[in-house]
Amino acid sequence: MNCPVSWRSRPGSFVSLMSLYESNYIRLAWLVPDVEKAAATQVSVVDGDCPLHLAIEERSRYTTTLRLTYVFDDDAGPLADPDLLIRVYRDARLAEVQACARWHRHALLESLRSQLARDLGDRWLRNVMLNKWLDYCVERGHHFPALAT
């Protein structure tokens, strides 16, 4: 799937941030084609990757808030990483990370966060992370179908 993005030319500007939100919406739709009809909780299991967990946190007339994460076994109990809270603006066709864990236990995710944090604000950082992770999840074969009606 090829989805060109326009936010790469001027990172950090308001216009590019809105373009990034639009790109996130498109990529999220590859993973969750109908967020309005997605089950409250689902797990996508594919060969060669960790189970991907989706939980719908809130539904309203124009928005859906969901949590997307891997869950790892840890000595202290289950650990969600990355733990992203995503607001989907269905009417505007935008998706924005509202919150995420500040530090990641996996070196690759932490290096991406550290590299971007030197140059970009938190909002930009969280949403670039989502954009890249959604690409990765789709490439691995993850998918969350809508509930049967």
The per-residue pLDDT for 64 is 97
Distance of CA 123 to the CA centre of its chain: 13
Counting as low any pLDDT under 50, the low residues of the chain are 7, 9, 119
Across 35-61, b (16+ Cβ under 10 Å) vs e yields: beebeeebebeeeeeeebbbbbeeeee
The answer to whether 105 and 82 are in contact (CB under 8 A) is no
The per-residue pLDDT for 85 is 95
The per-residue pLDDT for 113 is 55
What are the structure tokens assigned to 34, written together? Answer: 């109908």
The per-residue pLDDT for 73 is 76
Q: Where are the beta strands (DSSP E) in the chain?
A: 41-44, 52-59, 63-74, 77-89, 94-99
Type of residue found at 8: R
The per-residue pLDDT for 95 is 97
Type of residue found at 126: R
